[in-house]
């Protein structure tokens, strides 16, 4: 692949003739910047134009036999008989390899069709748990709850809003977003939290007078309302984030080896639970990363778009391992998978893909990028085998 990451969504638009003038200009600039870009795009077009249907076994075998037969006949007059047998074995082996390639391509198409049909992009759905009661927000277009003087209602189908009066007492709320979903909530103080797929936020219906605190599992983007005398805290596994008013992203999935806090605007402090006196101050464009297994951490400057692109409906990967890519994509489309050959984990991927597209697009890209993976789909599980 080229030095510059490929915008797969842009390539798809160009191929489908849906790109606008600006996108065409960006594509042409990318195409001219490196001869490998043009070569890759030509291979991509050639691959897209090939028929996915396999040749009949007798046809492919006959074609190979026709090509190899003249050479084999000449050799048979001057070489011992055993070499004719070797040629026949080679012919069968080559035919078998070709047939297997066609078979793999056909199976790839079959699995991609299943993925596109069965697994759609995430939609606005969540479960709200208040005390012993639970409410399915994916099914309720209108929600109006009065709890101890407070009021919970939904704005549209993808955001909760809290309001309260002086009689309101704090009640614990739990907003649970499943795989294949997303949702946001406007808290009593005006702060907005948007949750990605497979995430959970725990918060009170009203905050106390001294501080505001929530707990997160999974991933969320925070837009915290500024209150100088009442800091906002986000508690995740192993540390707390102290905020006065800012925009930042937190990724703390249980199955990820690294947890990230990425600051877009304002400033935050990272407070370690194991070392209460240790504080780390982040500035815009900086990211705090923590290894879950070792608790080692570091601060680095990053392109924040890569870690907040999901808010704009895009997957952005940069030298991401196949496992990392699949964990992210499978949460969004809610499918189960298994990598049968651990050596596939070493392959990395850089690119940009729309989160609004069908779930099979990523696998077509991986196939065209010559990553040696083939797909099987059995009993609701996607298997990635080495080809």
DSSP annotation string for 346-381: G-EEEEEEETTS-TTHHHHHHHHTT--EEEEEETTE
Q: Residues 369, 370, 372, CA angle at the centre, nearest 5°?
A: 130
Q: Please return the burial class of 118, using the count of CB atoms within 10 Å of its CB with bins 0-12, 13-18 and 19+.
A: middle
* Rounded mean pLDDT, 134-144: 76
Per-residue confidence band for 73, with pLDDT thresholds at 50, 70 and 90:
very low
Packing angle between helix 21-32 and helix 35-49, nearest 10 degrees?
120
Its pTM stands at 0.74
Cα 89 to Cα 55, 60, 67, 110, 132: the distances in Å are: 21, 16, 15, 31, 71
Burial-class residue 170 by CB neighbours within 10 Å (0-12, 13-18, 19+). Answer: middle
Between residues 363 and 101, which one has the greater pLDDT? 363
Q: Considering just the CA atoms, what is the radius of gyration of the chain in Å?
A: 27
Instruction: Give the model's pLDDT for residue 66.
Output: 47
Summarize the confidence of residues 237-245 as an average pLDDT: 89
What residues contact residue 326 under an 8 Å CB cut-off, 6+ apart? 337, 339, 384
Q: If we measure between CA atoms, which residue out of 136, 131, 132, 179 comes closest to residue 160?
A: 136
Q: Is the pLDDT of residue 117 over 80?
A: yes
What's the angle, vertex CA 19, arms to CA 17 and CA 23, rounded to 5?
145
DSSP, collapsed to helix, strand or coil, labels residue 111 as helix
Q: pLDDT value at position 379? A: 93
- Name the strand (E) or helix (H) holding 62: helix 57-78
Task: Give the residue among 55, 50, 41, 51 at the shortest CA–CA distance from 11.
Answer: 41
Look at the chain and count its residues: 387
pLDDT score of 50 more than 60 = no
Say whether pLDDT at 180 is over 90.
yes
Q: What is the DSSP letter of 312?
A: G
Average pLDDT of span 294-315: 94
Helix (H) / strand (E) element for 339: namely strand 336-339
Rounded mean pLDDT, 331-349: 93
Cβ neighbors of 342 (< 8 A, separation 6 or more) are none
The pLDDT of residue 91 is above 80: no
For residues 287-314, average pLDDT: 94
pLDDT for residue 194:
97
Give the model's pLDDT for residue 61. 40
52 has pLDDT over 50: no
Helix (H) or strand (E) holding 212: strand 212-223
- Would you state the pLDDT for residue 213? 96
Q: What is the mean pLDDT of residues 237-251?
A: 92
User: Residue 238: its pLDDT value, please?
Assistant: 83
And the tokens for 329? Answer: 């994509």
**DSSP strand pairing (159-163 vs 150-154):** antiparallel
Report yes or no: 259 and 296 within 8 Å, Cβ to Cβ. Answer: no
Region 354-361 average pLDDT: 91
pLDDT, position 209: 86
Model confidence at 277: pLDDT above 80: no
Average pLDDT, the chain: 81
Label residue 203 by pLDDT band (50, 70, 90). very high
Lowest mean pLDDT across 36-40, 81-85, 116-120, 174-178: 81-85
Query: Who wins on pLDDT, 84 or 55?
Result: 84
Listed ranges 19-23, 81-85, 277-281; the one with the highest mean pLDDT: 277-281
pLDDT of 284 reads 96
Burial of residue 81 (CB within 10 Å: 0-12, 13-18, 19+) is: exposed
């Amino acid at each position: 692949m080229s030095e510059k990451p490929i915008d797969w969504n842009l390539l798809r638009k160009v191929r489908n003739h849906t790109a606008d003038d600006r996108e065409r200009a960006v594509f042409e600039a990318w195409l001219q910047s490196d001869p490998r870009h043009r070569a890759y795009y030509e291979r991509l077009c050639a691959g897209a134009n090939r028929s996915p249907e396999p040749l009949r076994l007798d046809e492919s075998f006959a074609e190979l036999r026709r090509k190899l037969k003249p050479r084999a006949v000449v050799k048979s007059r001057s070489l011992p008989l055993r070499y004719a047998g070797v040629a026949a074995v080679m012919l069968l082996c080559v035919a078998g390899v070709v047939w297997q390639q066609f078979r793999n391509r056909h199976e790839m198409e079959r699995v991609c069709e299943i993925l596109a049909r069965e697994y759609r992009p995430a939609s606005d759905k969540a479960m709200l748990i208040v005390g012993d009661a639970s409410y399915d927000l994916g099914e309720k277009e209108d929600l109006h709850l009065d709890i101890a003087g407070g009021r919970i209602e939904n704005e549209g189908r993808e955001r909760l809003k809290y309001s309260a009066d002086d009689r309101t007492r704090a009640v614990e709320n739990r907003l649970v977003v499943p795989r294949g979903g997303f949702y946001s909530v406007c808290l009593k103080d005006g702060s907005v939290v948007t949750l990605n797929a497979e995430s959970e936020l725990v918060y009170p219906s009203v905050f106390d007078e001294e501080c505001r605190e929530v707990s997160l599992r999974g991933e969320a983007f925070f837009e915290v309302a500024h209150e100088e005398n009442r800091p906002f805290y986000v508690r995740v596994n192993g540390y707390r984030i102290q905020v006065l008013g800012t925009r930042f992203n937190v990724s703390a999935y249980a199955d990820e080896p690294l947890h990230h806090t990425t600051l877009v605007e304002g400033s935050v402090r990272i407070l370690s639970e194991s070392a209460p006196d240790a504080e780390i101050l982040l500035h815009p464009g900086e990211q705090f990363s923590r290894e879950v297994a070792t608790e080692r951490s570091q601060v680095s400057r990053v392109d924040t778009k890569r870690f907040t692109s999901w808010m704009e409906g895009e997957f952005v990967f940069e030298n991401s391992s196949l496992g990392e890519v699949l964990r992210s994509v499978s949460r969004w489309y809610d499918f189960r998978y298994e990598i049968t050959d651990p050596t596939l984990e070493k392959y990395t991927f850089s690119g940009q893909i729309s989160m609004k597209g069908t779930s099979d697009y990523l696998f077509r890209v991986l196939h065209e990028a010559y990553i040696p993976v083939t797909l099987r789909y059995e009993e609701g599980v996607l298997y990635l085998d080495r080809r």
